[in-house]
Amino acid sequence: MPIEHTPNYSVSRRRFLDLLLGGTGLAALIGLFYPIFRYLTPPEQEEAVVSSVNLGPAKDFPLNSGKIFRFGNKPGIIIRGSDGKFRAYNATCTHLDCIVQYDAKVEGVWCACHNGRYDINGRNISGPPPRPLTPYAVKIQPGAEEILIASQDGAQG
């Protein structure tokens, strides 16, 4: 007597439903996490190639003052001391990359993150900063009396 073999459709139907539900669940997870991943991943930015920056008329900078400016993708700080001399530095603290600011009370540069201090010449004098600030060249355009900032080594900012 021959053995009758009937295909087991219920098993294959179950497997099909498992695959369908698994695929749907995977698609739902991707749909949920992809926007989060895109939000957390910073967009790629083109490096702004800058070799000098014009900061405008020198008369706009009072004595004993400092101002943050953009030098390409980096922050810079220009200082006009009580002596009238202009100095400019990369404003990124050499400790952990916070942006420094001018402190007119002591005529120096201060980093608020960990109370790091630099003198007016950019030398690290107290707190955790391990190195001086990177200086920029300051040129005053003759005639127009406008301030031009350039990196000292000719490198681009």
Contacts with ligand FES, residue ranges (CB under 6 A): 93, 95-96, 98, 111, 113-114, 116, 127-129
Q: Which of 95, 96, 44, 94 is nearest to 73 (CA)?
A: 44
* 108-113: long-range contacts, CB 8 A cutoff, minimum separation 24: 109/66, 109/77, 109/79, 109/133
Among residues 58 and 132, whose Cβ is nearest to ligand FES? Answer: 132
Among residues 64 and 101, whose Cβ is nearest to ligand FES? Answer: 101
For the bound state, the minimum distance from the C-beta of residue 66 to ligand FES, rounded and expressed in Å, comes to 16
Q: Are 78 and 87 in contact (CB under 8 A)?
A: yes
**3 state DSSP class of 34:** helix
Q: Are 57 and 146 in contact (CB under 8 A)?
A: yes
For the bound state, the minimum distance from the C-beta of residue 157 to ligand FES, rounded and expressed in Å, comes to 20
Among residues 100 and 149, whose Cβ is nearest to ligand FES? Answer: 100
For the bound state, the minimum distance from the C-beta of residue 127 to ligand FES, rounded and expressed in Å, comes to 5
Among residues 52 and 134, whose Cβ is nearest to ligand FES? Answer: 134
